[in-house]
Amino acid sequence: MLSTAIRVRAPAQLPLLTITAFGTLAYLLMAWRWGGTVEDSLAYFDTARHLRGEIPVTELRAPFPYRLLVPGIAAMLPGELHHAFASLNWALVTASAVLMWQTVLAVGAGNARALLAGLLMLLSLPVYWYAPYLLVDPGSVCARSLFVFALLAGQPWLALFAGLVATAVREENILLLGWLLLSGRVSLRAGFAALAAAALWLLAVRWWIIGGLPSYTWRPNWWTVRHALQDIPSLLSMAGCAGVVLPLGLFGLWRAPAQLKPLAGLMLLMTLPLLYAAMSVRIDGRAIWGLYPFLIPLAATVAIRRAP
C-alpha cells in the first residue's frame, strides 16, 4: 500500500492568466535561437528525423538516440520539425515554471513567493541559453519538477509516473524511482514494478527500438578532470546557471521546514551522475539546470516563516 506520509495543503486552482504570463515570458526568452541545433542538440534533432523516417539509424550517434521520449514526441507533432521540437520544449519549460509555482504553494508559502519560484525557473541562464536549442533537458527538468510536486503534495502514484517519464527522457532519472522505493514512499511491489518497467524501457530502446549503434562507454579519467578545471567556458556556464538559485537553495536547505527535508537527499542522489559525467566527459551548465526542481522549493523556504 502506498505511503502518504507527507500531507500538505492542496494547490490552488491554476489561474489561466499566470500560466499565460509564464508561457509568454518563456517564449520571449527562447525566441532568439528558436529551434537551434548545435552539438548535442543536432544529435537529438537527428533522432527525431530518424523517427520520421528521414534518415537511417546509421547516421545517429550514441548515447543521444537512447534518450528517446522527447525526440519521439517531437517527431509525432505536425509541421516542420525544428518548429515542432522547439514548441515542445517551450511547453515543457512553461510547465516546469507552473509546477514550481504550485509546489511552493503546496508547502505553505504565499502566492507571491510561489510566483517567485516560477520566475526563478524562467528567469535563468539555462532557459535563455540552452532551452531554445533542440535538447532533451527541458523534458528532464519538467519531469523532475512533476516528481517534486507529487512528492510534496503527497501523491506517490503521480511521483511514480513522473519517475517513469523522467527515465524515458534521460536514463539517470531511474534513480528517482530507486529513491521512492528505498525511502518507503511507495510499497515494495509498486516500487519494484516501476523499476522493472523503467529498466525494460531502457533495454528495449538500446537493443530493439534504436539498435545497432556502435557501443560507447563513459570512463572516468584524470585527464578529463584536469581539462574540465581549465575549461573556462564550461566553468562560466556552470557558474551562470548556478546564479541565485544554487546559493538560495543551499541556504533554504538550512532553514527548510520538515516537509522539504527529503529534497536534500534527492538532490545529493541526483548529483552522483553529474559527478560521474564530470570525470568522464565535458559537462556544462545544464548539469546545474537539472537540479533546479530540487533547489527552487528550498530557495523559497528562505521566505517561509518557521512554525513555532
Domain assignment present for residue 266? The answer is: no
Domain assignment present for residue 118? The answer is: yes
pLDDT > 90? residue 12: no
Reduced to 3 DSSP states, what percent helix, strand and coil does the chain have, rounded to the nearest 5?
Answer: 70, 0, 30
Question: Which neighbouring-strand residues pair with 36?
Answer: 133
Domain assignment present for residue 232? The answer is: no
Domain assignment present for residue 7? The answer is: no
Percent of the chain predicted with pLDDT > 70: 94
Of 109-113, 248-252, 280-284, 292-296, the one with minimum mean pLDDT is: 109-113
The total of structural domains in the chain comes to: 1
Domain assignment present for residue 239? The answer is: no
7 confidence band (pLDDT: 50, 70, 90): very low
Domain assignment present for residue 235? The answer is: no
pLDDT tens profile 156-186: 999 999 999 999 999 999 999 999 999 999 9
Question: Which neighbouring-strand residues pair with 133?
Answer: 36
Residues contacting 64, CB < 8 A, separation 6+: 40, 43, 44, 47
Q: Residue type for 174, please?
A: I
Domain assignment present for residue 247? The answer is: no
pLDDT > 50? residue 221: yes
Residue 25's domain comprises: 16-218
Q: Which three cell numbers stand for residue 51?
A: 523517427
Cβ atoms 145, 120 nearer than 8 A: no
Domain assignment present for residue 126? The answer is: yes
